[in-house]
Structure 1
Amino acid sequence: MSLTEKPQSSPERDAYYEKIAKQDFRALWDVLNNIITPTPKSACQPHLWDFGVAKKLLLEAGELITAKEAERRVLILENPGLSGQSRITTSLYAGLQLVLPGEVAPAHRHSQSALRFVMDGGGACTAVNGERTIMNEGDFVITPPWAWHDHGNESDRPMIWLDGLDIPMLSLFDASFAEGFGDDSQDITKPTGDSEARYGANMLPVDYEKKGLASPIFNYPYARTREALETMRQGDEWDPCHGLKMCYINPVDGGFAMPTIAPFVQLLPKGFKTAAYRSTDATVFSVVEGSGCTIIGGKTFDWKPKDIFVIPSWYEVVHEADADAVLFSYSDRVAQQKLGIWREARGVE
């Protein structure tokens, strides 16, 4: 017998399986090929969400329920292969959140790590542990685990951002906790930009003590990100599988900015076609700029600005850019690498 084969059935064996099941046992040899597979096996499917459709549905929700009543007015991006599980991949959650002008999404905290990637609008704010930051399109914002946070929109436009959380991971470990603040907004005790000044200029306070695993910077502005990508493209050093791909880091230790979620940004120049690539971290992509397509397991998904798509674990993927394109993405790569299980295959077409 091999890992890909299952022992033949017989009346005697079936009777035995039924007998042991009554005592809460299961024969490993009967299920081994299902639980230890030669390559990753997942119900997660490739899929793309059109932002135009999503925005229309979100604005409709804005007429039905307030941000305060909903706690968070969010449409979950539910993977069609994981229906009813509130997951975009096996280990990650994604949702699109709407905050209308004048609204506040009430303060709370939870043991899950969260990221916000601003999709539409500008000028709204998020407050994390006493510091407020203004959010604009393309900004990547972190909410560390168990940090008080609330969102407000003092602009004159609806604000929509992508929420990415490790909810399925925390559920796997039965480690979910959440708590309401008791008021809509927390007190602001630090000036805007305080964390960027302290930690975002290649410096740290001399007596800095690490208090968590997430980056102490909680807003990575897109203006700085885009400038960095544009400067680096002058080196003309394009990775065959990724174009120019960078990860957002924690300045304290140089690791990923979040303990369980790995965030990335990449530039694909016009006409660039990547080499085929596979990796074990299922990845969520949000298109910031440009247009093109991504071929996932032989199926083509055409994308444009603000569309969102997902690539399951170990699917062969190729990106093609019709115009200069910037893609934001996130995956569980950081968790997989810490556990020593992450794997990639380059040029596998």
Structure 2
Amino acid sequence: MAEGSSTRADRAAYYERIARKNMAPLWESLHNLVPRTPQPRCVPAMWRYNDVRADVMEAGTLISAEEAVRRVLILENPGLPGQASITQTLYAGLQLILPGEIAPSHRHTQSALRFIVEGSGAYTAVNGERTTMHPGDFIITPSWTYHDHGNIEAAEGGEPVVWLDGLDIPLLRMLDAGFAENYPAATQPVTRAEGDSYARFGNNMAPVRHVPANGNSPIFNYPYERSREALDQLYRFGELDAWDGVKLRYVNPATGGYPMPTMATFMQLLPAGFQGKTYRSTDSTVYSVVEGRGTARVGDQEFHFGPRDLFVAPSWQPVQLAALDDAILFSYSDRPVQAALGLLREER
């Protein structure tokens, strides 16, 4: 047979034969494996909190926090059905804990963040220290640290509390690096007073002989009131980026890096009337609206957002943000991983 004269039937038969030997022709898939630009399977999507809140609360009538271990509704990207993923590297979910409940203590290699959406009375414990949760607080439970959650009784002022869970589950699933372990009791012993870690590391100071043991922040609660104050001050001082408004990243005070090695977290202020320029970057980003109303144009989608709404911007999709009134957005992405591997790109 002359070179290049094979028929479709010849090739199909050949592909079938080599498939039985666990081989496949690269030339049939090269364009997908090495694309000209990122081609994410996840798509721009939005979850309006007013539309999903009732579903979150209904979960509280169907299963207890103890039975569920973590009573969470996964925010699943429409482009990744059945994969428990909001992007190809990130997970997101809305967790509910009711007054008087305890979500049992466990640990896992996946890093996790909690961003408090609504309610008061709940707390989380990490490495022997408890912290009270307030809306807008950013809390971390680093890889392989025991953590449990609880809520005071309704008679003591406890309310249903909802927070956004963000984890690197899809990334660790791809790496096959997941481990988990339950604590022997429902809760871990509290061995440090509330605020201990913030007193040691949250005031531009650190214990004299502290040596960072890993890439995780020694602070595990970043209070919203302090983040909000920093954004307000910078705006008053005249800081306003044409793409981001006023945007800050959360830091590990011991290293200056990100609070956890696999996820970056940010808080930004879009002042009333702000019309941001369009940008794009390779890190997929999940947004949670804290305050205000505005518009997010992501790819070919336009989302009109309000308080507590969530939306996702996939890799390399054009993003433009605008605000009707002062808007505060929390966000997280896989930026540290991409930066460490030399893969991060931005266009603005």
TM-score of Structure 1 vs Structure 2, range by shorter chain: over 0.9
**Equivalent in the alignment of 2:328:** 326
**Equivalent in the alignment of 2:58:** 60
**Equivalent in the alignment of 1:22:** 20
Taking the aligned partners of 1:27 and 1:235, their CA distance within structure 2 comes to 59
Q: How many pairs align? A: 339
Query: Secondary structure of the residue that 2:268 maps to in structure 1?
Result: strand
Matched, 1:232 2:230: no
**Equivalent in the alignment of 2:121:** 123
Taking the aligned partners of 1:55 and 1:151, their CA distance within structure 2 comes to 20
**Equivalent in the alignment of 1:152:** 150
1:123 Cα deviation after fit: 2.7
1:9 Cα deviation after fit: 6.8
**Equivalent in the alignment of 2:246:** 244
Alignment of 1:43-192 (within 5 A): 43-154=41-152, 155-192=157-194
Q: Which amino acid aligns with 2:89?
A: S
Taking the aligned partners of 2:175 and 2:7, their CA distance within structure 1 comes to 35
1:20 Cα deviation after fit: 1.6
Query: Secondary structure of the residue that 2:62 maps to in structure 1?
Result: coil
1:184 Cα deviation after fit: 1.3
**Equivalent in the alignment of 1:5:** none
**For residues 81-135 of structure 1, what are the alpha-carbon distances to aligned partners after superposition, in whole Å with 9 as ceiling and x for unaligned?**
1110000001000000000001010000000000000000123110001000011
Matched, 1:211 2:209: no
- Structure 1 9/206 Cα, relative in aligned 2: closer, same or farther at 3 Å? farther
Query: Secondary structure of the residue that 1:13 maps to in structure 2?
Result: helix
Taking the aligned partners of 1:336 and 1:49, their CA distance within structure 2 comes to 26
**Equivalent in the alignment of 2:3:** none
Matched, 1:311 2:313: yes
Query: Secondary structure of the residue that 1:82 maps to in structure 2?
Result: coil
Taking the aligned partners of 2:266 and 2:7, their CA distance within structure 1 comes to 48
**Counterpart contact for 2:120–2:158, Cα < 8 Å:** no
RMSD, aligned CA:
1.1
Query: Secondary structure of the residue that 1:189 maps to in structure 2?
Result: coil
Unpaired runs of 5+ in structure 1?
1-7
Taking the aligned partners of 1:158 and 1:198, their CA distance within structure 2 comes to 31
**Counterpart contact for 2:263–2:336, Cα < 8 Å:** yes
1:332 Cα deviation after fit: 0.1
Query: Secondary structure of the residue that 1:142 maps to in structure 2?
Result: strand
Residue from 276, 286, 289 that aligns with 1:287: 289
Taking the aligned partners of 2:248 and 2:117, their CA distance within structure 1 comes to 19
Query: Secondary structure of the residue that 1:179 maps to in structure 2?
Result: strand
- Aligned identity (percent) is 54
Matched, 1:10 2:8: yes
Query: Secondary structure of the residue that 1:63 maps to in structure 2?
Result: helix
